[in-house]
Structure 1
Amino acid sequence: MSTPAERTLESLPNNGLPDVVRFLFFGMHGFLDEIIFTSIFNLVENLDRTMSGHTSLWSFLMYGSCSFVVEKLYLHLRFRRGWSTWRRLPIYICFIYTWEFCWGLALRQYGACSWDYSHYPFNFMGLITLLYLPGWVCISLYQDILSNVLLRHSGQGADINVCPVSRKDKCIIGLERTGRGPNEFHCE
């Protein structure tokens, strides 16, 4: 049995980008992020002023699917559980490290893993390293913002801003209009 907040959230129109478009966007965004990150890392670590970065086609699937699932976590944890960003962040980080490890382990079985962190401190099996933790934290915070933008209700320029305030007999869901007058509240 769903709560009033869940029923209202499910009934809101979703005029954001379709799932497949968001998946493609996340995959391409991951490509770009990895090229920029490896380029900067090579400059800092190896003094490589060519600023050349690299990635693998597997990264498209890896980033696209990971970000897509993190987006689902965002929806569940923010809107259904009411968790703040700082409470969601450790979940995202654990998920990202698990995702990277599992993909790396599977790709390594076929000789297709494009990374090896075994020369970095705090690595596990060369597939993940805590050295990248600050980067994953920043990407996770950015993912929260990005998910909100990509899922935005675009019908009237409104942001879906669900604030489940559960009480015994009512739940307030706020739909905040941007530049279009006062807030509207749907109560059940």
Structure 2
Amino acid sequence: MSSTALMTFKSHIDGKNADVAIYSDRIEWSRGRGVSGKKLTAGLLTGGASLLATGVRGSGAGTEMIPVKSITSVVTKRDGLMYTKVVVVASGNTIDFRVPHASAPGIKTLLTDLVLGKVPATEPAPPAPVHQAPAPTAAPPAGDPVVQLQQLAELRNAGILSEEEFTAKKAEILARM
């Protein structure tokens, strides 16, 4: 088994970030338990609605390894304004990796080359660029709905809130005006 990863990146799957490593002979991914700061902030701003939608439980925690020899297909699909899903189909399993648009072609090319038996460069490839969403600021004073709406839009644009969560919280803020 190879011990040096050719590429590492973070993938946002089902409301949690997964650490993904691609080796010459396998793909490994793992999701830890717990709640991120972004998820807590979104939960506070949406009155808990986003936490209810994505959950707080650690049942999604775990690891998985897929041997390159069992991969039958690698497909990319657009997933919103900022992300692309890299879908890895293997015998008996399918895993979606949600990554920024700019990272997807490099990930797909590396996986396709490995499946086709092309030997990657001896030096590990640089890690795929990771899009960092702007850090949400502290909740604005209750009397400033315009700032709350702006921050809510930032959370939606960063992919932290779904369109439904955004719409519900926006209606709540506008009702208080």
Q: Same fold (TM over 0.5)?
A: no
* Interval of TM-score (by shorter of Structure 1 and Structure 2): under 0.3
TM (norm. structure 1) is 0.25
Q: Which structure shows the bigger proportion of residues in helix conformation?
A: 1
TM (norm. structure 2) is 0.26
Q: Which structure shows the bigger proportion of residues in strand conformation?
A: 2
Higher Cα Rg: structure 1 or 2?
A: 1
